[in-house]
Amino acid sequence: MNKTYDLIVTAPEEFAEACAQVLFRTVREKPDAVIGLSTGRTTGDIHRRFAALIKEHGIDVSHLTIFGLDEVTGVSRDYFGSCIWMLEHECVHDLGIPKENFLMLPLTSDNWERDCDAFRAELARRGGITLLELGLGENGHIGFNQPGTPFTQRAFHGTMHDYLEARIRRETNTPDDIVLGGVTLGIADVMDAQAILLCANGAHKKQPLTDALYGPRTTDLPATVLQSHPHLQIICDTDAAPEIPV
């Protein structure tokens, strides 16, 4: 177990601000940072507050790189559930990030291995991941790294949970003969990040966060791999606060 992690517990109304401050400080201290963002119910308010802080303080973002951890595949970039749409509308537009400094895994590809390798190579060319923001799935997934994903896995394209696929197919009116999936940085790529910020809020995240931090390190719960990361910070609200073993 990583004994050096930093756990911050906030009031629910202070959660997004606390997480956004970590992103903001990273950019202020390293203007050419490479910051990875995750999408979902947890992070939207964080990203909006992050953009507001950057604008309030007049921080130059011309050398900042923002990238998405993962992406839904087989959908249009105009679909409100695509990761690129969410990040653009949550913070990238307001931040004024140069187009060439906003990196996303592709929505479609005729060679996923090639495109995943190219994405990883571009991150490396820019100096590697300075800070990676992660949400926490209720089953312990991080990105599209679902239970059973090897800890050695690099960026890959795969399937998504049936319930998520059904919802996206319904929202996009995608016919059954079109394959939907997900592409993501792998667990090994996540662990290569220089620093990780794990964000969790709500009572439904309490048990997953407790298991992720204090349970056995297992691919059955992918987030347990974070126990061995040397620079891990966790911010959660009081509802999600883990039960620390005595």
Least confident of 88-97, 165-174, 189-198: 165-174
160: nearest Cα among 243, 44, 79, 72: 72
Q: Measured between alpha carbons, how far is 131 from 113 in angstroms, rounded to an integer?
A: 24
pLDDT of residue 246: 65
Cβ atoms 130, 194 nearer than 8 A: yes
- In this structure, what DSSP letter does residue 128 have? S
pLDDT at 229 > cutoff 90? yes
Instruction: Give Cβ neighbours of residue 132 (< 8 Å, ≥ 6 apart).
Output: 35, 36, 69, 190, 193, 195, 196, 197
Query: Rounded to whole angstroms, how far apart are CA atoms 84 and 87?
Result: 5
DSSP state of 53: H
Cα of 114 vs its chain's centroid, Å:
22
CA nearest 169: which of 178, 157, 158? 178
Taking domain 6-237, whether its CATH number is 3.40.50.1360 is answered by: yes
Query: pLDDT (tens digit, 9 = 90+) per residue, 130-154?
Result: 999 999 999 999 999 999 999 999 9
What is the number of other CB atoms lying within 10 angstroms of the CB of residue 100? 7
**So where are the chain's domains?**
6-237
Half-sphere exposure of 160 (CA within 13 A, CB side): 22
Share of the chain above pLDDT 70, in %: 98
Tell me the β-bridge partners of 69: none
Tokens 């997953």 map to which residue?
A: 208
- Chain mean pLDDT for the chain: 94
145-161 burial, b for 16+ CB within 10 Å, e for fewer?
bbeebebebebbbbebe
Model pTM score: 0.94
Q: What is the pLDDT of residue 23?
A: 98
